[in-house]
Amino acid sequence: MPADRLDFSALEALLLRHERLRSHVRERTLRAGEHVIRQGEACSDIFVLRAGLVKIYYVTREGKEWVKSFIMDRGVFGSRSAQMAGEGSAFAVVCVEDTSLAAIPYSVFLEASLQDARLMETVFRFNEWLGLKKERREYDLLCRSAEERYRTFVVREAELAGRLTQVDIARYLGITPIALSRIKRRIAERGAAGRPMTAAET
């Protein structure tokens, strides 16, 4: 399987049915708007998303919200600050849609991973996938213009884009909703005029 793809169904099955983990799994169902983790909360669980959509975000001291990432339908997440350093979570996680997930204590997961080569390999593959995703995200934020980030997002994450508000998309792109509206208007105007896109716009 390519490095930029991951079989989350297989990952979910291994985590939730593993002989050392299954007795510790706690199933949860949350409604849209409910938090899985609050910023600053000492929550060290590993969460397995089974259905739904969650938003991982930061709130600055000035009260501004910036979106770190979204996880849609299936995925695994948790706060490394809480798990590894015993600190409060640096970010919050809120349900954008009604969501079903399972929680596993990190200490139990770590012990099982160290004792099971198959589980350790699966965790390694997940970390490879996540590292690639983070590198691409960093590149987009640091090296692409706001319009390029928007174009890349709607192509790469077409299904996700259709399930989000414009406010959340803007915060994910690191711009204001007003700036996003201007970008979309410019793109629409160029399309109406029939002007071909330049290389920088593709």
Which CATH number among 2.40.50.100, 2.60.120.10, 3.30.360.10, 2.30.22.10 corresponds to the domain 1-143?
2.60.120.10
- Is residue 96 within 8 Å of residue 70, measured between CB atoms? yes
Helix (H, G, I), strand (E, B), or coil: what is residue 34? coil
- Is residue 27 within 8 Å of residue 89, measured between CB atoms? no
Residue written as token pair 């160290």: 114
DSSP letter at 65?
Answer: E
Q: Which among 75, 9, 8 has a CA at the least distance from the CA of 46?
A: 75
Tokens of 103: 């929680």
pLDDT, tens digit only, all 202 positions of the chain: 455 678 888 899 999 999 999 999 999 999 999 999 999 999 999 999 999 999 999 999 999 999 999 999 999 999 999 999 999 999 999 999 999 999 999 999 999 999 999 999 999 999 999 999 999 999 999 999 999 999 999 999 999 999 999 999 999 999 999 999 999 999 998 876 544 444 344 3
- How far apart, in whole angstroms, are the C-alpha atoms of residue 134 and residue 79? 15
